[in-house]
Amino acid sequence: MRTVKRAKLLRLHFGESEQYNGKPLYEAIVNRCRELKIAGATVFRGFEGYGETAEIHRHHLLKKDQPIVVTIVDTAENLGRLIPEVEEMMDTGMIATSDVEYVRIEKPLAAGT
């Protein structure tokens, strides 16, 4: 079965060293997404990047500060509940949203599995 729907895409950009309540920010965000019953969240670690300050974020021997991107797709309503909470959690970073269509693919299980 194939279903196409409209949704919002939320991308959160920040450095790996960002923390919230003593744990990595990306972990805190994923946990909050689960608590709010957000459809799903995926964390990506980049090799290198920079933002508004032009400071390069990359792996160092003494410091872990690679770029992190958390990607979330859900309804505008659900992301509207999440964004203010994420803003409170972030010290520095960027939040980007865009309209998307998503395709959910669910194939029936084969007989006997």
Q: Does the reported pTM lie above 0.85?
A: no
pLDDT in tens, 41-88: 999 998 877 766 666 666 666 667 789 999 999 999 999 999 999 999
The string of DSSP letters for 46-104 reads -SEEE-TT--EEEB-SS-B--EEEEEEEE-HHHHHHHHHHHHHH-SS-EEEEEEEEEEE
pLDDT in tens, 80-105: 999 999 999 999 899 999 999 988 78
Two tokens, residue 19:
């923390």
Is CATH 3.30.70.120 correct for 2-103?
yes
Q: Is the dihedral of CA 91, 48, 28, 9 positive or negative?
A: positive
Backbone angles phi, psi at 16, to 5 degrees: -60, -30
